[in-house]
Structure 1
Amino acid sequence: MRLLLSLLLLLLPTPLLAQWKMAETERFRVYADMPARKLEQRAALLEDFHALLVRATGRDLPPGSPPLDVFLVSDMAQASPWRPVDPRVSGFYRASSGRISAFAMEDLPDSRIPDLAQTLLLHEYAHHFLLGASRNAYPAWYVEGFAEYYSTARFGNDSIDYGLASPVRAQTLVRAPWIPLERLLARDPSLLRGDDSAIFYAQSWLLTHYLFRAPGMRGRLSDYLKAYAAGADPVEAFRTHIDPDFRAFEAKLRRYVVREATYSRFNRIDETRPTVRITELPASASTMLMPMIAIEQGVPPDRREEALADLRQRAARFPGDPLALRALALGELQLGSPMAAADLLDAQLARTPDDADLLRWRAQAARLLGQPEVARTYLLRAMRANPQDWRTALAYSRLYRSTAQPMPDQALEALMKAYRLAPQVNDVVLDAALALANAGRTGEAAQVLEPLAWAPHGGPASELAQRMLVKARAGDVAGVQGQVEDLRRQQIAGGQIGRRR
């Protein structure tokens, strides 16, 4: 009986046998619990996709841009503990002041659409690339249409096809009533949610596909996007630069999707395959990795106590394990006691004194404990350990952050470096805009704010950016400062700002 039980335990899947790995390339760090060969192929595919975007658009991310962290999971709930995820979601992208990451399903075995999991992952990376490579404000339909257009790319040994039809979107276009063009073009974040979201994505894909590929449309699209970025009304700009007759234009789209849509093929030029380094993560990764990432990206206020208790319980299963201690230190820092976090971090820094993440977290603990000079010392060490870490540059600039006073040159330089490397992060954008306005550079502040102000999904950060943008375009420094001060007063009144000990 005991032998039979032992054999059954060996046959059953169990987290204890899971072996998370990291595949690292020049531009990506891909984490998953899957065979090394399969993980290597996923990472190489992402590098291939990046090269396609560069070749097709003529743009690239700034030199020194940090690798994007990509997490492939078997269940999307695994990707977001303590923060509910709609069960229909198969991938998402999150850019916070703690980390920029994309999350996607490893596979969707029950899907009738081949390679749907891959398509979703490429869609998320296209968002990251578009904002990082251009810094322009784009309408929601174009942001989503751009990602849809390139995400169907397929990679062969000798060629790359892109601009392929999306079976999911094509089916939706046939079955669902279309959103009127005036509403599709307008700034309406509600279209990305609820019952209209499927047809919104489908029409956005079709509109982008048509304007990219129909004869004479590329130039008109370029003029339209320039007008949009300059603040023109999106509906009137479309009439001016693309087509004044919306009824006739919609008829063109309907004909195009049925009979005229094409795709492109790149023949591969002699190229070297990307270098992919596989690292096996400790056994604790199956328990500690995703919760640690979730804490870096922020836990909802009403789940903080639960998250900390859960994390402490998880870490207790791996006494002395470096990853578990690291996660526990971050949990104490963000959710619990800065003093306890400082003690945990000091012990780890004694073993690895040049770890930039640990140094940055130790600086945050010092700030929370009212020790700004200690924090500055740790941040300077972190910048020496990893000069390209935008999170350290942002943290350093925040030692000198003021609503009404210009930053010292060194701090402003650090902040603008963070913005150059991570324009996808709302906190970086808002900090940079405020600092530029304080320095009297309101025109530059407006340019920084525009993409966030008209971000497709909207939200509080976008609404704040819109209000700041109006003041920055008017050259009203005090007005920009006032918008930030109003928000800070609301946060204090709501108990969102305070010192923890």
Structure 2
Amino acid sequence: MRFGIWAAMLAAALWGGPARAAWMEASSEHFVIYANDSEKDITRFAQQLERYHAGMAYVLGSQVAKPSPSNRVTVYVVKNAREVRQLHGGDNKFVGGFYVPRAGGSLAIVPAVQSANGAVTWSMIILLHEYAHHFLISTNVAAMPRWLSEGSAEFFASAKFEPDGSLWLGRPANHRAGELFYAQDVTAADLLDPTEYDKRKHTTYDAFYGKSWLLYHYLIFGGDRKGQLPRYTDLLAKGRGQRAAALEAFGDFDTLEKDLDRYLKQRKMTAVTLKPEKLAIGPVSLRALSAGEAEIMPVRIRSRRGVTREEATTLLVEARAVAAKYPDDAAVLAALAECEVDAGHDPEAIAAADAAIARDPSQVNAYVQKGLALFRQAEENEGDETARAAAYKAARAPFIALNRRENDHPLPLIYFYRSFVEQGQEPPKLAVDGLIRAVQLAPFDLGLRMTLGTTLLRLGRSPEARIVLGPVANNPHGGGMSAFAHRLIERMEKDPSWKGEDLGKEMPEDAEGEGGEGG
């Protein structure tokens, strides 16, 4: 998602010193962190992330419902930036971390993050920027223009953690100073009227992120434009176009540009500091991973990231070797089940998942992987209607069991809906309501939003569909899926009676994006 765009600016700051002794899990209200690190450092890291969440909630006046355990963001801390690049894939040699938003499985993969008190380092900025996106999309029903999304994320990411538990937000984004002064210029008009910005060819790195931060910071702290940003967002929420809303709220773009230039050149900028009493956070639970969990962790991270079938076949050899050494470790068996699913070995995946659940019924991933394997078997079932119905009933069973253990896990709701669609049946109201609830639980999963948006369209609920699809259409890195959502919204606006009868005609060939439904 967004990591892939601006990670090219990253030179990740790494911890020095000797190798750490053991893999640890730090579990808190909104995060699960896995790192080969000391108890002290991983605890401080988890507390800082929780304080950051609390600080955003306080400043924005927004509260996010406590996520179910499996819907927290999982942070995997790997050895260095080189390992991050290998996991990310592609040929971008500057990638220093990335985030994948998935219902029931959002994850971030970062190098060792310097969590010492003080101003945050590059690697921490990356993580805080992406979590800001995660938080903002979880607390806003309406879609945000790209500049507002990126500017606000930059605003919060330049944080500073004090030893007494205080938190600074809105500090100058010094990491953007170079692009603001030396990169290709981006004007306020470019930000506020994206049609003009998009008309130009962007062959070199420009100041979009820096200028977005500057405009957001100015509207928050500038003083002479108080109330204009809420006015702007209110106009957008009422359906006003981006350019029209900006002109009504901010006035002449050239005047705004001159004001921004003066603001950038001033010697000091305002920031906000939040004392510890305003940042109430819950406890951080620590657990040392078992020997088997620690040994299979590299396999688990690669599988969680996502692999091709060829990569999965190679990875499975490693997973089976670890499982042979630790045949009674439920976490190892659950990881093995995921590798078997990735490699297309459904019976073996089901056997490994059953073995994991038998040893530890709390192994959530084992239920998920068993369900995925059974769903694939059901999809391939060529029997009569009765046989297919029985296969899908069996496929639903692990997700139903998971739902009983974790009522707000989104995947059981998603696959309950899919079990009807994949049989060619009209999903009942209960299944559609479950899909709506899944989006409420995981609004950051754009693929899931796409599924719900097209479902609501076919049901004749186009006003709701437009709201659901807004963040997909406005995602600047969504590729074909974003273009598809944008076309659907335009068509619904032109023809409110349209129910997607010829939906396929609107779909670009590359209408896929990051953020699936698990697996």
TM-score over 0.5 for the pair: yes
Aligned partners of 2:299 and 2:315 also within 8 Å: no
Which of 152, 159, 163 is 1:153 aligned to?
A: 159
Which of 411, 415, 421 is 2:435 aligned to?
A: 415
Q: Does 1:367 align with 2:375?
A: yes
**Cα distance in 2 for residues equivalent to 1:312 and 1:98:** 26
1:105 and 1:412, CA in 2 relative to 1: closer, same or farther beyond 3 A? same
1:405 and 1:289, CA in 2 relative to 1: closer, same or farther beyond 3 A? same
**Cα distance in 2 for residues equivalent to 1:489 and 1:115:** 39
**Cα distance in 2 for residues equivalent to 1:481 and 1:40:** 53
Aligned partners of 1:98 and 1:296 also within 8 Å: no
1:431 and 1:22, CA in 2 relative to 1: closer, same or farther beyond 3 A? same
Which of 176, 183, 189 is 1:176 aligned to?
A: 183
Q: Does 1:347 align with 2:355?
A: yes
**Residue type of the partner of 2:503?**
Q
**Cα distance in 2 for residues equivalent to 1:192 and 1:490:** 21
- How many residues in Structure 1 have an aligned counterpart in Structure 2? 472
Query: How do residues 270-285 of structure 1 correspond to structure 2 at under 5 angstroms?
Result: 274-285=282-293
How far residue 262 of structure 1 moved from its aligned partner, in angstroms, is 1.5
Aligned partners of 2:330 and 2:363 also within 8 Å: no
How far residue 163 of structure 1 moved from its aligned partner, in angstroms, is 1.2
* Identical residues among aligned pairs (%): 27
**Cα distance in 1 for residues equivalent to 2:51 and 2:132:** 13
Which of 37, 41, 45 is 1:42 aligned to?
A: 45
**Cα distance in 1 for residues equivalent to 2:174 and 2:481:** 34
**Cα distance in 2 for residues equivalent to 1:125 and 1:404:** 38
1:367 and 1:98, CA in 2 relative to 1: closer, same or farther beyond 3 A? same
Mean CA deviation greater in 417-426 or 407-416? 407-416
Mean CA deviation greater in 85-94 or 224-233? 224-233
Matched residue, 1:208: 216
**Cα distance in 2 for residues equivalent to 1:284 and 1:116:** 32
**Cα distance in 2 for residues equivalent to 1:234 and 1:292:** 43
Matched residue, 2:453: 433
Q: TM-score under structure 1 normalisation?
A: 0.84
- Local SS of the residue matching 2:277: coil
Query: How do residues 177-326 of structure 1 correspond to structure 2 at under 5 angstroms?
Result: 177-185=184-192, 186=194, 195-197=204-206, 199-244=207-252, 246-259=253-266, 261-269=269-277, 274-299=282-307, 303-319=308-324, 320=327, 321-326=329-334
Matched residue, 1:96: 102
1:97 and 1:487, CA in 2 relative to 1: closer, same or farther beyond 3 A? farther
Aligned partners of 1:75 and 1:105 also within 8 Å: yes
How far residue 485 of structure 1 moved from its aligned partner, in angstroms, is 8.0
1:338 and 1:402, CA in 2 relative to 1: closer, same or farther beyond 3 A? closer
Aligned partners of 1:404 and 1:438 also within 8 Å: no
1:312 and 1:37, CA in 2 relative to 1: closer, same or farther beyond 3 A? same
**Residue type of the partner of 2:447?**
D
- Local SS of the residue matching 1:70: strand
How far residue 69 of structure 1 moved from its aligned partner, in angstroms, is 1.2
Q: TM-score under structure 2 normalisation?
A: 0.81
**Cα distance in 1 for residues equivalent to 2:199 and 2:299:** 30
Mean CA deviation greater in 133-142 or 218-227? 218-227
How far residue 119 of structure 1 moved from its aligned partner, in angstroms, is 2.3
Mean CA deviation greater in 143-152 or 438-447? 438-447
**Cα distance in 2 for residues equivalent to 1:229 and 1:461:** 22
Matched residue, 2:405: 385
1:77 and 1:419, CA in 2 relative to 1: closer, same or farther beyond 3 A? farther
Matched residue, 1:334: 342
**Cα distance in 2 for residues equivalent to 1:243 and 1:333:** 56
Matched residue, 2:516: none
**Cα distance in 2 for residues equivalent to 1:286 and 1:462:** 38
How far residue 396 of structure 1 moved from its aligned partner, in angstroms, is 1.7
- Local SS of the residue matching 2:227: helix
- Local SS of the residue matching 2:186: coil
- Local SS of the residue matching 1:324: helix
1:297 and 1:437, CA in 2 relative to 1: closer, same or farther beyond 3 A? farther
CA-based RMSD of the aligned residues comes to: 3.3
How far residue 165 of structure 1 moved from its aligned partner, in angstroms, is 0.7
**Residue type of the partner of 1:463?**
A
How far residue 416 of structure 1 moved from its aligned partner, in angstroms, is 1.4
How far residue 483 of structure 1 moved from its aligned partner, in angstroms, is 2.4
How far residue 474 of structure 1 moved from its aligned partner, in angstroms, is 4.8
Which of 17, 29, 32 is 1:29 aligned to?
A: 32
Matched residue, 1:6: none
1:484 and 1:411, CA in 2 relative to 1: closer, same or farther beyond 3 A? farther
Which of 43, 54, 57 is 2:57 aligned to?
A: 54
**Cα distance in 1 for residues equivalent to 2:361 and 2:200:** 49
Q: Does 1:449 align with 2:473?
A: no
Aligned partners of 1:136 and 1:451 also within 8 Å: yes
